[in-house]
Each structure stands twice: as structure tokens, then as C-alpha cells.
Amino acid sequence: MELSLAHPALKAFMCGSLSGTCSTLLFQPLDLVKTRLQTLQSGVQPGSGRVGMTSVFLSVVRTEKLLGLWKGVSPSFVRTIPGVGIYFSTYYTLKQHFFQDRSPGALEAVLLGGGARTVAGIIMLPVTVIKTRFECGRYSYGSVTGALRSVVQTEGPGALFSGLMATLFRDVPFSGIYVMFYSQTKASLPKEISVSAWAPLANFSCAVLAGVMASLITQPADVVKTHVQVNPQLRTLEAIRYIYMEHRLQGFLRGAVPRLLRRTMMAAMAWTVYEQMMTHMGLKS
């Protein structure tokens, strides 16, 4: 069946998957640096902001070569390509079902984005766990399938869903806040810009602003999620207590700079590509 005859939700899935592929390949090094910063052992001083990020970056290049920055890209692809596709197809389906004739309001946008992220997050959580373990450098898995098999055999299937609540506490608010800021900012643009050749740049700018706000608000939950998935014996509350006892409040901001850069740019690219592809296919995104 030709793409033009495909179901709109399938088109949304394909648009989302393509945008996720591009952004994952470009920004994987930032995700790896973020994970390494968050899982530094106590007593290691990561420095603040740019210094910590730079030192980890150089350390990875020095000890694991340049390609070491893309460690974990395989599970990232396995997670992102279908995950972003699931997210956008769910988002499109929910939006068409509930808001076919109008734009969602601020609270409705939060619920719309959060609902789509809940579906995608739960489905893709096992791969998210493997991705985090690949990036932290403490595990020596050979492949994604090998890692999945190893975790099931040594820790049980439940370990693949470690950090479920922490992941949802991070991703659902992030997506809800993101969609709210993005949709409301985009709706405030003059109509002549929205239909001009500057529309992609305007959409990208709105997406960047939304990504910055959502990333800052959900940063503590991301730190907790990383600790739970790297140390599956920890529960969410135990991880919160551990982070505070070891690093105090600043511990919840570890990895904020690379995460903000990565999440903001990935989301901006994904949404811009998604919007343009949907428009090219004649569908209202």
C-alpha cells in the first residue's frame, strides 16, 4: 500500500520515527555525558556546569576513543525509533479524537502530551533500562538482545521495568509541560508567519523554548530515574534519599546542562520534522 493511502496514525508513526532517528544520532553523546555525570561515585567532584560536562566528555574520548561517545546508541535507536513513532501516533490519535475541530487549551495540552508519553514510556521501558545501563559504563553488554536476556536471567523480568514510576514522573510531566508551552507559543504567532516560508524556523524556536522549560522542571526526576535503573536494588524513595545524603540538593541537578541541551534540541528537531512532514502529507498535526 502506498504511503498516501496509509492510515493517518501510521503516517504520524512514520514521521515521528524518522525525526527520532535523526535527533538520536546527533545528540547521543550528550545523553551519555548526562548519564555519566549523574552516576559519578561519591567523592568524585564533577565540578559545576560546563566544567563537569567538559571533563566527562574528555574522559570518555581519552579512555574509550571518539566512538565511545556513541556508546548506547544501539539501544537508543531501538528505543527512540519506535518510541517516538508510538508517541506521535498516540498524540495524533488522541488529538483527532478529542480536539478535531479546535486547538486544545493549556490544561488540555498537558493532558494530551502526558497521555501520549505514558503509552510510549510504558511500552519502551525495558529498552530504556538497557540504554541507561549501556551509557553508565558499569555494564559490559555485547548487544541489546544480549543485555535483555542477561537481565532476565540474572535479575528477573521485573528488573526490565525498574524505575517505572521515576520514568513516568519524569517523562509524563515533561511531555505535558512541553506540549503546553509549544502549542500555546505556536498559537500566539501571527498567522502570516505560520503560513510563510519562515514557519519551520518559527516552529523550531517555539520548540526550543518549550524544551528548556520542560527540561528544567523535570531535571530532578531524571536524576532519580537514572539511579534506579543503574542500581535496580534501589526503590524510588531510596534513590531520592541516597542522592540527597550523598550530594545534597545539588545532586538533583547533576547532568542538567547536557540533558537540557539534548532534550531541547532533540524535541525541537523531532517536532519540527514531524510538523513539516505531516504538512507535506496534507495532514493537520
At 280, list the grid cell.
Answer: 507535506
What is the reported pLDDT for 199? 82
- Provide the CB-side half-sphere exposure for 131 (13 A, CA): 25
Q: Distance between CA 240 and CA 229 in Å, rounded? A: 13
d(CA 189, CA 184): 9
CB atoms inside a 10 Å sphere around CB 204: 17
- Taking the chain (285 residues) in runs of 10, the rounded mean pLDDT of each run is 58 81 85 84 46 82 90 83 90 89 89 95 91 81 87 91 86 93 89 81 90 92 87 86 90 88 86 82 72
- Residues of the domain holding 121: 7-280
CB 34 within 8 A of CB 269: no
User: How many separate domains does the chain show?
Assistant: 1
Is residue 234 situated within a structural domain?
Answer: yes
Q: Answer yes or no: is 19 within a domain.
A: yes
Query: In the prediction, which pLDDT does 163 show?
Result: 83
The answer to the question of residue 218 being in a domain is: yes
User: Which residues have C-beta within 8 Å of that of residue 107, sequence separation ≥ 6?
Assistant: 180
- pLDDT score, position 41: 58
Rounded Cα gap, residues 156 and 87, in angstroms: 28
Q: What pLDDT, on the 0 to 100 scale, is given for residue 50?
A: 44
**Cα 114 to chain centroid, rounded:** 13
Q: Is 68 domain-assigned?
A: yes
Counting beta carbons within 10 angstroms of the beta carbon of residue 8, is it exposed (0 to 12), middle (13 to 18) or buried (19 or more)? middle
* CATH number of the domain residue 214 falls in: 1.50.40.10
Is 93 contained in some domain? Answer: yes
CA angle 230, 138, 255 (to 5 degrees): 60
Indicate whether 285 belongs to any domain. Answer: no
- State pTM to two decimals: 0.74
- Tell me which residue has cell 507535506: 280
What are the backbone angles phi and psi of residue 265, rounded to the nearest 5°? -70, -35
Phi, psi of 48 (to 5 degrees): -115, 140
Tell whether 253 is covered by a domain.
yes
Q: For the chain, how big is the Rg over CA atoms in Å?
A: 19
Buried residues in 205-234 as b, exposed as e (16+ CB within 10 A): bbbbbbbbbbbbebbbbbbbbbbbbbbbeb
pLDDT of residue 38: 84
